[in-house]
């Protein structure tokens, strides 16, 4: 599938206008009588680069529709060029390497425990199923060993991942990730970019001043005890008092954050930004808070509204393919 037009002929698609709600139907454009004032939605579409979804639409013909286009968000670019933009990397980035999915992981757990994978998947969340595995096996060790092997097959060539290359060569002082795999680190080795891996408090002590940090917020295969996979370990993190949590709180206070390959559905992260919003709200200058962003190719008005109140703006690509969308966005940002 190709890039989605902002004026797609999909039935009942709402277009983001500054003064009216517009719906596209199969027979043309219909203006509703309801007046709305939606928040600006950052839209991304090649070759239009980044644009705010603010439209000036002719009522004569759909073909004369025109977007007022804007270049990449100025605040985002300023933060990036000033070295004040932190990158937060989620599972969507690793997915472009065709690594196993959560459903494949829970299917493996099911087979290990003698269950039908489809039936087993209905018994709980992935966290609960991993917790059940640990209760039955006494340890997550065998599961983590299987994950390490499956996530790092020798047939995977990191040099072919344009997304990892752009991340590595980008001007990001810190890269946080909830991914367990080592592909970010391997990409840095491949492209000869120095870094420190931070997965526990000992890594914090030995970090090199001024060097890029890759912070493994949910753990690393090199330290099985650091892995956040089951419900118990996840709930422990909700206390928000681990050294990595404290470091993250400190880092986001003075930096913008760009989430990629990540839905920001993790309750830990949502709780962090909620608490920061509360803190900034009590400050004498709340407007000084750095803005943060989440890049996606799937519009979600609920997420947009909820995250917006916590200082996170959605940047929505018009490209259907998530890999192509993220690659194009990073190329524009990094270049």
The pTM of this model reads: 0.77
Signed CA dihedral, 325, 328, 331, 334: sign only: negative
The CATH class of the 74-97+157-334 domain is alpha beta
pLDDT for 95: 87
pLDDT for 262: 78
Q: In this structure, how many other beta carbons lie within 10 angstroms of the beta carbon of residue 238?
A: 11
Q: What are phi and psi of 321, to 5 degrees?
A: -80, 115
In sequence order, the 6+-apart residues with CB closer than 8 A to the CB of 171 are 80, 81, 83, 85, 334
In sequence order, the 6+-apart residues with CB closer than 8 A to the CB of 334 are 166, 169, 170, 171
Distances from the Cα of 255 to the Cα of 92, 147, 231, angstroms:
23, 33, 30
d(CA 166, CA 163): 5
Give the DSSP letter of residue 297: S
Which residues of the chain fall below pLDDT 70?
1-71, 264, 284
Q: Which residues are paired to 317 by β-bridges?
A: 44
Q: In this structure, how many other beta carbons lie within 10 angstroms of the beta carbon of residue 113?
A: 13
Q: For 138-184, write each residue's pLDDT tens digit.
A: 999 999 999 999 999 999 999 999 999 999 999 998 999 999 999 99
Domain layout of the chain by residue ranges: 13-39+55-67, 74-97+157-334, 102-151
pLDDT for 194: 96
Element at 298 (helix H, strand E):
none
pLDDT for 77: 93
**Which of 268, 237, 273 is closest to 256 using CA atoms?**
273
């Amino acid at each position: 599938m190709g890039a989605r037009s902002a004026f797609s002929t999909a039935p009942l698609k709402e277009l983001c206008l500054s003064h009216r709600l517009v719906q596209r139907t199969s027979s043309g454009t219909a203006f509703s009588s309801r007046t709305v004032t939606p928040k600006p939605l950052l839209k991304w579409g090649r070759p239009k680069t980044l644009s705010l979804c603010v439209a000036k639409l002719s009522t004569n013909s759909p073909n004369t529709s025109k977007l007022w286009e804007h270049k990449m968000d100025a605040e985002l670019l300023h933060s990036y060029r000033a070295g004040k933009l932190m990158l937060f990397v989620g599972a969507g980035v690793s997915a472009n390497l065709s690594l196993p999915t959560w459903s494949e992981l829970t299917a493996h757990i099911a087979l290990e425990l003698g269950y039908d994978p489809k039936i087993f998947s209905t018994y709980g969340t992935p966290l609960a199923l991993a917790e059940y595995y640990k209760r039955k096996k006494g340890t997550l060790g065998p599961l983590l060993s299987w994950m390490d092997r499956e996530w790092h097959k020798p047939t995977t060539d990191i040099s072919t991942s344009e997304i990892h290359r752009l991340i590595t060569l980008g001007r990001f002082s810190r890269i946080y990730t909830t991914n367990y795999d080592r592909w970010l680190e391997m990409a840095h080795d491949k492209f000869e970019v120095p870094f420190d891996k931070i997965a526990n408090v000992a890594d914090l002590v030995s970090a090199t001043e001024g060097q890029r940090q890759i912070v493994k917020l949910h753990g690393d295969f090199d330290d099985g005890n650091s892995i956040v996979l089951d419900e118990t370990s996840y709930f422990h993190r909700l206390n928000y008092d681990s050294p990595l949590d404290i470091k993250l709180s400190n880092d986001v206070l003075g930096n913008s954050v760009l989430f990629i390959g990540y839905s920001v559905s993790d309750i830990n992260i949502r709780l962090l930004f909620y608490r920061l919003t509360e803190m900034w709200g009590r400050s004498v200058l709340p407007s000084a808070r750095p803005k943060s962003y989440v890049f996606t190719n799937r519009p979600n008005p609920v997420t947009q509204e909820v995250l917006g109140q916590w200082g996170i703006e959605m940047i929505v690509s018009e490209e259907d393919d998530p890999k192509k969308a993220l690659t194009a966005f990073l190329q524009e940002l990094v270049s």
